[in-house]
């Protein structure tokens, strides 16, 4: 099988590297900057000179930052009009529900199978092939992708043939994640104001009512004040909160907690902290409290 991969950020590089583990497959990779392409080429990938070259494949994965990045490369460039069936387009990025719907409709009209497959997990999980993959799209295409998904993730969760449903679930999960980090940040500042070390609170909650990777991972970052390097940038969290709020607005579902977390992330962006980890909400909460 010939596999194309576009978008080699920290997540994309790790995912593409794991796709290379299929001995009989050829993997073509493209990125705006050359260094990640060279890194993957050293592992056995073939560098594509253009996005169009990367699309000369049976299956193409895209892992780009946002709606606009994919729109520019695929639609505004005119590339989409050159694509021909049979082709499976797998979009792994967290995009808006509206854009996912548009892409699914455009692809369907041209006989291209569009599969939304956003992932849950940070770059270390991607490198270890421990991602959770949220997949939705044509059943035969999802079935064909399962061997590839098995190389990059620990489990694939299927949400039917309506591709945007996978994006709705991903936005809901990221909304919940950011909300959990926000409350953890605020609670740490509250207990700290009474002389209780954040590490003590973290040990209590992760050893009792809130075990699990979110409180353990982000709690440790907040307790240690370690916000760089970012596993999940606050700026991307802000993007996702805005997309979740827009998705709610489209179906008249209010997300009042989401509005609060969005404003905290705007605070981080206003203080040039957007490229720090989402855990920087701990610093935002402390600043808001004058601490």
Based on the residue annotation, tell me whether 170 is a catalytic residue of this protein: yes
- Rounded CA separation 244/1 (Å): 35
Residue 202 has a CB neighbour count (10 Å cut-off) of: 23
Choosing from 146, 155, 170, 239, the catalytic residue is 170
Q: How far is the C-alpha of 284 from the C-alpha of 277, rounded, in Å?
A: 12
Whether residue 276 contacts residue 227, with contact meaning beta carbons closer than 8 Å, is answered with yes
Q: Is 9 left (phi over 0), alpha (psi -120 to 50) or beta?
A: beta
State the DSSP code for 55.
Answer: T
Q: 3: closest CA among 24, 121, 125?
A: 24
Query: Which positions are catalytic?
Result: 170
């Amino acid at each position: 099988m010939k596999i194309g991969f576009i978008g080699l950020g920290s997540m994309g590089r790790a995912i593409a590297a794991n796709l290379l583990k299929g001995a009989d497959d050829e993997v073509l990779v493209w990125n705006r900057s050359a260094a990640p392409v060279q890194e993957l080429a050293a592992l056995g990938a073939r560098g594509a000179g253009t996005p169009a070259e990367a699309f000369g494949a049976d299956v193409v994965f895209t892992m780009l930052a946002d709606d606009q990045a994919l729109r520019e490369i695929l639609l505004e460039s005119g590339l989409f009009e050159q694509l021909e069936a049979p082709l499976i387009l797998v979009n792994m990025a967290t995009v808006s529900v509206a854009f996912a719907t548009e892409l699914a409709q455009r692809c369907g009209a041209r006989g291209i199978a569009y599969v939304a497959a956003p992932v849950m997990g940070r770059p270390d999980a991607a490198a270890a092939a421990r991602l959770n993959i949220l997949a939705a799209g044509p059943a035969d295409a999802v079935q064909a992708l399962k061997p590839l998904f098995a190389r990059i993730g620990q489990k694939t969760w299927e949400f039917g043939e309506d591709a945007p449903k996978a994006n709705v679930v991903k936005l809901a999960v990221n909304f919940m994640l950011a909300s959990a980090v926000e409350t953890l940040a605020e609670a740490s500042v509250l207990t700290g104001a009474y002389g209780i070390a954040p590490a003590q609170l973290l040990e209590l909650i992760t050893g009792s009512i809130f075990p699990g990777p979110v409180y353990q991972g982000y709690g440790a970052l907040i307790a240690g004040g370690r916000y760089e390097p970012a596993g999940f940038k606050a700026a991307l969290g802000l993007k996702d909160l805005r997309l979740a709020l827009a998705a709610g607005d489209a179906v008249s579902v209010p997300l009042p907690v989401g509005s609060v977390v969005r404003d905290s992330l705007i605070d981080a962006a206003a203080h040039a902290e957007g490229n720090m980890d989402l855990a920087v909400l701990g610093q935002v909460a402390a600043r808001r409290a004058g601490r």
